[in-house]
Amino acid sequence: MSLAKFALATATCLALSAPTAFAQKLPDTMSWTAYDVGSAGYAEASAIADAFGKKFGTKVRIQPSGSAIGRLQPILTKRADVGFLATETFFATEGIHDFSARRWGPQNLRVLAGRPASVGVFTAADSGIKNISDLKGKRLALVAGNPSVNVKCEAFLAFANMDLKDVAPTLFPTYSAAMSSVNKDEADASCTTTTPSQVYELQASPKGIHWIPLPADDKEGWKRLSDIAPFLQPFNETIGAGISVEKPVAIAAYRYPMLVVRADMTDDEAYAFTKATDETFDLYKDATAVMGRWSMDMAGVPAADAPFHAGAIRYLKERGIWTDEHQAWNDKRTARLNALIAAWPKAVEEGKGKSDEEFAAIWEQSRKKTLSQLAQ
């Protein structure tokens, strides 16, 4: 072979191999956002960042924030690469709560992965409340200014074909106060994860604790629940107050923390980050009691608060994790997000010259109409 032909062949091989090599390479530096220092999200982001540094030499700067806007704005403005987020991702894609203002609206976000975090409704074991339907007329604790908690409570009521009109909503000023309310006889039930100190206190009290089951085989109940909160999925929990491997409970799970990125992140970048998260698993899996749930067979599957990124899906398919059922979920979730993004400019145009309150009503009506048309 002539020197010229050899050089051409070598260049061709390098060109063909370049996408694969790039797909597996992380940047030298990255910026992530997370919840405040001391939160589970910050602790887990720190553990994964440390693992990235050890294995790949990547230096990570974590930007903590106590607000949904503070965690998402750096991502949307390209001042951060990835967010370790939770339910604010769903609110951002829906254009609701903090993201219903005219300057926001539905945001085009994607998920790479996210460990399941269980959540459910708990009551006192001696309350006589066994099922969701038993909450009718009872005091349900809600948290002022905390839609992340409250939307899950509403979804749990929908499981039994109920809503807030069927219970006695009892508003508390803080999350901690709401979680303590059952033990203090200030409410009959509350919604939370299975490990806050308040639920252990209730378990240790003479009242005891009962987690209301959400059986996975109740397909109609789960359909109603998913209409309110499509990011929730059935989950068999073995860790928490009154819960063990010997005494599991069938409740729900959402994703927290969840790796959230802009939809315009390249497929190669999304692939590389997802792969790196998987390849460093052994370095961070023991950092906390639940970090073992970052195993991709748990963290790399729906449901989630936004569609999965195509680059992440490519890696998950290579790992044999991503199924046709997962793809069907992702297609449906993407269609929902795209429909809301398309509906937003029309609502903004209709709201010109109107007050913020009037615009909020216009958008909520438009959003509900859009979602109802998708369901047909």
Q: How many CB atoms within 10 Å of residue 327?
A: 14
The CATH code that applies to domain 25-114+257-375 is 3.40.190.10
CATH topology of domain 118-254: D-Maltodextrin-Binding Protein; domain 2 (3.40.190)
pLDDT of residue 237: 96
pLDDT of residue 24: 56
Taking only the tens place, the pLDDT of each residue in 108-159 is: 999 999 999 999 999 999 999 999 999 999 999 999 988 999 999 999 999 9
What is the distance between the alpha carbons of residues 315 and 292, in angstroms, rounded to a whole number? 19
Non-local (6+) Cβ contacts of 21 within 8 A are: none
Report residues of the chain scoring pLDDT below 50.
1-23
pLDDT of residue 281: 98
pLDDT of residue 135: 98
pLDDT of residue 40: 87
The dihedral through the CA atoms of 165, 168, 173, 175 has a sign that is: negative
pLDDT of residue 11: 37
pLDDT of residue 15: 34
Which tokens is 327 given? 């793809």
pLDDT of residue 318: 98
Q: Are strands 249-262 and 109-124 parallel, antiparallel or unpaired?
A: antiparallel
* Identity at 193, one-letter amino acid code: T
User: Where do you find CATH 3.40.190.10 in the chain?
Assistant: 25-114+257-375, 118-254
CB 192 within 8 A of CB 119: yes
Left if phi > 0, otherwise alpha if psi is -120 to 50, otherwise beta: which for 88?
alpha
What is the distance between the alpha carbons of residues 34 and 82, in angstroms, rounded to a whole number? 9
